[in-house]
Structure 1
Amino acid sequence: MESNLTLDEVTEQSMVFHEDDDVFIAEETRDSLDFQQAPIMMLEPKKGLMFDSEDDAVRFYNGYAKRKGFGVVRRTTRPSEDNKLNYFTLACSRQGKAQYSSNNSFKPNPSTRMQCPAKSNFSRRGEKFCITSVTIDHNHLISTSKARFLRCHKKLDLHAKRTLELNDQAGIRVNKNFGSLVMEAGGYDKLEYGEKECRNYLQETRRLKLGARDANDVYQYFLDMQSKDPDFFHVMDVDEDGRLRNAFWADARSRATYESFCDVITFDTTYLTNKYKVPFSPFVGVNHHGESVLLGCGLLSNEDTDTFLWLFKSWLCCMSNNPPNAIITDQCKAMQNAIKEVFPRARHRWCIWHIMKNIPEKVSGYEKYENIKYTLSKVVYDSLTKHDFDEAWLQMIEKYDLQDNEWLDGLDDDKNLWAPAYVKDTFWAGMSSTQRSESVNALFDGYVHARTTLKQFVEQYGNALRDKVEKENKADSKSFQEVIRCITDYDLEGQFQAAYTNAKFKEFQDQLRGKIYCYPTLMDKDGSPLMFRVREDRKIFL
């Protein structure tokens, strides 16, 4: 059966949007149509179209935009005196004037805005909404096939959410989880979402939970591991009622690795605390490939000084009471107090990345914020000596009237804990921040899932560690089998080529390339200290 209805035959009064059909149908003819055979009318926005609710209006315009191939953004809204919505506008997402945030005119960032005029205005009519004006034409190309990549047209349905959760519980990684949905739908273009939406949804639903029997299960797991590996180390801290408060463990390989790479460690508790509500606390070092290595980890119930004292003492005992030469952490006062007591001779350094990322929050209120931010970065990174730093810092404070800024004042008091010019007297193995810890934490993205128990997490830690070890073995094999050729005839470079892994040798060659183009000349042989003039050749592209 075919319907002979035309748009002109559908009266303005009978046009009502129905959610289940996602189209407009004449109300008086709806019951008489055979919807299995009748062609569904795909209407464009038209002045006078009525909608039962705001949601119906938005759903209609989004559906129209997706069919045509453009994005939608909500613009003007106008509430009434009784706080009800009276008026709103749905426009093409490319409406508005282009805005470029990049300060470098030679590297402009892209902008989607190009002042597109397409839009529909909606006004309240009693309890319904009516289109009062419409602009159909766009000033840019639109594409139906590319509309699925626009954020406004992406949504996860209930089936997808349930499938993602079940596969996640089964330990299937996000990329394969998403791949199964693609195969089921018959292609990427059949889905209304992408892998990023799946990943974001799972991150919101994941929680690492402590079950009632987890403490006993974890203890049994530790005993089982120790029976297989006599050098497996573990400590559990329980309260008066026998409930688990803190745990620390390290396998034999982590303990052996620390014997070779005990110079510097980083310690950070923020990653799983932020993502899974559990303060996972890894001790991280760096190996001969420049890669992060796990040196044991703890699970903490609190982040006070007593808890860190317990953890640091447990870790030190595990490592045969051999403290590191240097340690990098964030600006946690409780952590700082514990380090002073447990590692009194270790050089302690704050993560400079955490400090510098706080600049917008701490100084954005000043009129010359951009100038302050630029100057502060130059003071921090370009000062070669303590004297240079102190002098440049004082000039910055005076120039921008920052004497009352408590954050900057506190940083100046503790500059020996973070300023590069003040910590360069210590070997840091190429590390300056706790982001080493975060790179290790990222290993667990594929192993920690929704409703993971504490026992399962501890077991998955072993799986993640084995994965990390295998990657290190591959890097060892690559350095053993492959040789990076020398770029000079210096014997010194040949010695480094023979002694270093490929990754570290590349770092050395980067420094060597810089030296090749520099020509130092001694200016005053009798002076103290010696003074050199350095000429550097640079290639200029015209």
Structure 2
Amino acid sequence: MDKEISSGSNEDCDEIDIETEIEDTKNVEVEIEDPKVGMTFKSIDEIYEYYSRYGKRNGFAVSKKYCKRGDDGEKRYVTIACTRAGKAKIRTSNIVKLRPQTKTGCKAGLNANLQGDGMWIVRSLRLEHNHEMSPSKSRFFKQNRILEPHVQRRLELNDSAGIRMNKNFTSLVLEAGGHEKLSYLEKDCRNHMDKVRRLKLEKGDATAMYDYFVKMQADNSEFFYVLDLDEEGRLLNVFWADARSRAAFKEFGDVVTFDTTYLVNKYDMPFAPFIGVNHHGQSTLLGCGLISHENTETFTWLFKSWLACMSGCPPNAIITDQDKAMKNAIQIVFPNVRHRWCLWHILKKLPEKLRGYKEYEAIKFGIQNAVYDSLTKKEFEENWNKLIENYQLEGNEWLFGLFEDRHQWVPAFVKDIFWAGMSTTQRSESMHAFFDGYINSKTTLKQFVEQYENALAKKVENENGEEFNSLNSYIPCITQYPFEKQFQKAYTIAKFKEFQQEVVGQLHCNLSLYTQGPDFSVYEVSEDVPFGENLRLATFIVYFDKENFDTNCSCRLFEFRGIVCRHQIVVLMKERVHEIPDKYILRRWNKNVKRCHSKVIINYNNSSMLPETRRYNKMFNVFNDVADLATDCENRCDMVVEQLLELKGKLKEEVEIDYGNNKSSFVSNHHNSTTHGDGVSKSKESRIILDPVAIRQKGRPPCKRKQSM
């Protein structure tokens, strides 16, 4: 009944606002007739609605105080009075913290009873109040604070986009033309959003997330998810990937980074994303999980789930930190995959492991030089052994272990295969930073997967923007060599810029012939390269095949990043090669390739919308178009408003008829199903999943991340 009353009040208020704009007259509520004995109404609701409007005009609120039923159970007598009727009741024993009281014993109100013809008649009436009244402040009364459905939808939409409530409400105030023009307060908006969040999670956090996954898969059969539950049915781990991420793996799944050092939810479950690099050099998500433990068993489950999602196709290479559990799981699930440790994670431990040494700064500088500036495996081993000997570090077990595992992290030992230019898990770190705008340590599981959609939609938009730029603009060539034009036409803007850096770099190279045969040449290319804070002259060996125009350089930049290096370029220029073989123009960086993941159409923002919301948006778009056409002309504006009012009246009649027809049906059938807060009836067999237990995990950063508001 309350919902029906509020709905009626909303419509009346809308009519008043619109008619005021058309007629430019005084407030329509002035025309409300003063109450008199003998007035008749069709129902109690009609009496209440009338007296509420009268009270709003005169500055007081009303409520139903008494209702008496006859022998047949029907309501026969009702009292509607001022809300300040009755005596104040002090319900606290703490006299220092007394709550404000509103009761003053006001006698104002009316009494009505039911007649034989079904009409209600006012039998007695009292108009005098014993308190001050302020009509201009009537909007603060609770019964006059109405949050219209379109406002509720807007609040929910903005909340999903991460807009804070104060800004959300301020936009409504500015649109209305001031606080006094609104029929609600900021507190009402906050209460509504709190209610929406509670309803979404009333079944339990994990169960709500499960239902969300089920709906996502129903919308798109390529959506993949796996839940890992314990014997009690409590959530342990979860993995999921949308259709676009699965398609993107076919294009960019050759090299991935994996990292779990990021807390994202109230259960302290680490976020475990699989990150790749697209043809623009941007991070792209290839699936992700939330895990409860960081042990071999959990990582094995996660890697197997990801492998099943990607149709059993493992990557060629994977970058992780030094976690032993990850290493063990990778050997179990991906035995033939090249595993590399994140260089950044290793070097950031230098202060922790070596700070106690007197010559710490010199040791740190020497390690960095050995790692970054050693061009060959032999050179690294010589520089490392010299460092250990000079500073007497033979007894340091940590450094000894790093040297034993040098093939898993030192650049000179890992640059023999393609890593898409990645040397660390910085892709995972950048993805974490990207999600920071959407999630924080208080995020629930259900909110996480919804905000994951928003973040992913932004990633897709960024990729589409770069795609547009690469197809509709270009970077001019800086030389006259045809092979530069070759790369300009083929590569995306980001990758062509990397190639041009090598073209510029060849100016600093000196070329000399080392040896020559009938069908090959070997060149020495010398270049000043950084060494610590200085420069040193480094020599690179480039092999050139005269028949096939193949080139191989000892710097291995092409093998590592997929970009032809400056040493190869200077040799090609010397040999008068005008067109580079196709093998050096990688499909991976090519902007002209029609990639399968770009053909996957997913409307992330609409995937979790209710049917009512989709219908509302459909109508709202048309309303906007009509308003744009009628805004510039007063006559067209009046015509539109007049027709809308007429349509509104017809719809109101249909709604009342539908409500009357469905009321009895609802009463007889509502026991057959359980209705949840999302407005969808779920059967009692709906699966219940227990929420995970919050457990602090290893590997967490010592300082807390700044939480998003």
The alignment's TM-score, normalised by the length of structure 1, stands at: 0.60
Query: Is residue 428 of structure 1 aligned with residue 419 of structure 2?
Result: yes
Name the counterpart of 2:477: 486
In structure 2, what is the Cα distance between the partners aligned to 1:331 and 1:211? 40
Name the counterpart of 1:508: 499
Kindly indicate whether structure 1 or structure 2 has the higher relative contact order, using CA contacts under 8 Å at least 6 residues apart. Answer: 2
Structure 1 runs not aligned, ≥5 long:
1-167, 185-209
Q: 1:425 to 1:170 in 2, by over 3 A?
A: closer
1:267 positional shift = 0.3
Secondary structure of the equivalent of 1:334? helix
In structure 2, what is the Cα distance between the partners aligned to 1:533 and 1:517? 10
- 1:248 and 1:296 in contact (8 A); partners too: yes
**Residue-by-residue CA offset, 1:123-168 (whole Å, 9 max, x unaligned):** xxxxxxxxxxxxxxxxxxxxxxxxxxxxxxxxxxxxxxxxxxxxx9
1:537 positional shift = 12
Name the counterpart of 2:362: 371
Q: Among 377, 386, 392, which residue is 1:386 paired with?
A: 377
1:275 positional shift = 9.8
Name the counterpart of 1:409: 400
1:292 positional shift = 0.2
Q: Which amino acid aligns with 1:394?
A: N
- 1:169 and 1:450 in contact (8 A); partners too: no
Q: Which amino acid aligns with 1:243?
A: R
Q: Among 211, 215, 220, which residue is 1:220 paired with?
A: 211
1:391 positional shift = 1.1
Structure 2 runs not aligned, ≥5 long:
1-157, 175-200, 531-709
Q: 1:176 to 1:394 in 2, by over 3 A?
A: farther
In structure 2, what is the Cα distance between the partners aligned to 1:176 and 1:446? 17
1:519 positional shift = 2.5
Query: Is residue 461 of structure 1 aligned with residue 455 of structure 2?
Result: no
- 1:520 and 1:534 in contact (8 A); partners too: yes
Name the counterpart of 1:115: none
Name the counterpart of 2:243: 252
- 1:169 and 1:449 in contact (8 A); partners too: no
Q: Which amino acid aligns with 1:534?
A: S
Q: 1:425 to 1:454 in 2, by over 3 A?
A: same
Q: Which amino acid aligns with 2:216?
A: M
Name the counterpart of 1:193: none
Q: 1:476 to 1:170 in 2, by over 3 A?
A: closer
Q: Among 442, 448, 464, which residue is 2:439 paired with?
A: 448
- 1:169 and 1:451 in contact (8 A); partners too: no
In structure 2, what is the Cα distance between the partners aligned to 1:326 and 1:315? 15
In structure 2, what is the Cα distance between the partners aligned to 1:424 and 1:212? 51
- 2:406 and 2:413 in contact (8 A); partners too: yes
1:212 positional shift = 7.0
Secondary structure of the equivalent of 2:263? helix
- 2:266 and 2:444 in contact (8 A); partners too: no
In structure 2, what is the Cα distance between the partners aligned to 1:349 and 1:388? 20
In structure 2, what is the Cα distance between the partners aligned to 1:536 and 1:294? 38
In structure 2, what is the Cα distance between the partners aligned to 1:212 and 1:396? 61
Q: 1:173 to 1:535 in 2, by over 3 A?
A: same
Aligned identity (percent) is 56
In structure 2, what is the Cα distance between the partners aligned to 1:390 and 1:312? 34
Q: Which amino acid aligns with 1:426?
A: I
Secondary structure of the equivalent of 2:375? coil
Q: Among 291, 299, 303, which residue is 2:282 paired with?
A: 291
1:516 positional shift = 2.7
In structure 2, what is the Cα distance between the partners aligned to 1:211 and 1:442? 30
Secondary structure of the equivalent of 1:446? coil
In structure 2, what is the Cα distance between the partners aligned to 1:354 and 1:455? 31
1:174 positional shift = 7.5
Q: 1:170 to 1:450 in 2, by over 3 A?
A: farther
Query: Is residue 497 of structure 1 aligned with residue 488 of structure 2?
Result: yes
Q: Among 258, 278, 282, which residue is 1:267 paired with?
A: 258
Q: 1:276 to 1:389 in 2, by over 3 A?
A: farther
- 1:518 and 1:537 in contact (8 A); partners too: no
Query: Is residue 330 of structure 1 aligned with residue 358 of structure 2?
Result: no
Q: Which amino acid aligns with 2:451?
A: Q
The alignment's TM-score, normalised by the length of structure 2, stands at: 0.46
Query: Is residue 532 of structure 1 aligned with residue 532 of structure 2?
Result: no
In structure 1, what is the Cα distance between the partners aligned to 2:422 and 2:524? 29
- 1:264 and 1:428 in contact (8 A); partners too: yes
Superposed counterparts of 1:344-355, under 5 Å: 344-355=335-346
In structure 1, what is the Cα distance between the partners aligned to 2:439 and 2:311? 31
Q: Which amino acid aligns with 2:222?
A: D
In structure 2, what is the Cα distance between the partners aligned to 1:439 and 1:491? 36
Q: Which amino acid aligns with 2:490?
A: A
1:518 positional shift = 1.7
Q: What is the alpha-carbon root mean square deviation over aligned residues?
A: 3.1
Q: Which amino acid aligns with 1:496?
A: F
1:425 positional shift = 1.1
Q: 1:364 to 1:282 in 2, by over 3 A?
A: same
In structure 2, what is the Cα distance between the partners aligned to 1:266 and 1:178? 38
Q: Which amino acid aligns with 1:389?
A: F
In structure 1, what is the Cα distance between the partners aligned to 2:258 and 2:437? 21
Q: Which amino acid aligns with 1:272?
A: L
Q: 1:179 to 1:537 in 2, by over 3 A?
A: farther
In structure 1, what is the Cα distance between the partners aligned to 2:165 and 2:341? 36
In structure 1, what is the Cα distance between the partners aligned to 2:251 and 2:294? 29
Q: 1:227 to 1:178 in 2, by over 3 A?
A: closer
In structure 1, what is the Cα distance between the partners aligned to 2:235 and 2:359? 51
Secondary structure of the equivalent of 1:242? coil
Secondary structure of the equivalent of 1:349? strand
Q: 1:179 to 1:333 in 2, by over 3 A?
A: farther
Q: Which structure dedicates a bigger proportion of its chain to helix?
A: 2
In structure 2, what is the Cα distance between the partners aligned to 1:353 and 1:179? 44
1:173 positional shift = 4.9
**Residue-by-residue CA offset, 1:333-384 (whole Å, 9 max, x unaligned):** 0000000111111100000001111111111211111111111111001111
Q: 1:533 to 1:306 in 2, by over 3 A?
A: closer
Q: Among 289, 297, 313, which residue is 2:304 paired with?
A: 313
Q: Among 499, 508, 518, which residue is 1:517 paired with?
A: 508
1:531 positional shift = 6.0
- 1:518 and 1:534 in contact (8 A); partners too: yes
Name the counterpart of 1:128: none
- 1:520 and 1:535 in contact (8 A); partners too: no
- 1:267 and 1:283 in contact (8 A); partners too: yes
Q: 1:174 to 1:391 in 2, by over 3 A?
A: farther
1:524 positional shift = 4.7
Q: 1:245 to 1:533 in 2, by over 3 A?
A: closer
**Residue-by-residue CA offset, 1:226-279 (whole Å, 9 max, x unaligned):** 111010001001111111111100000000000011210000000226998320
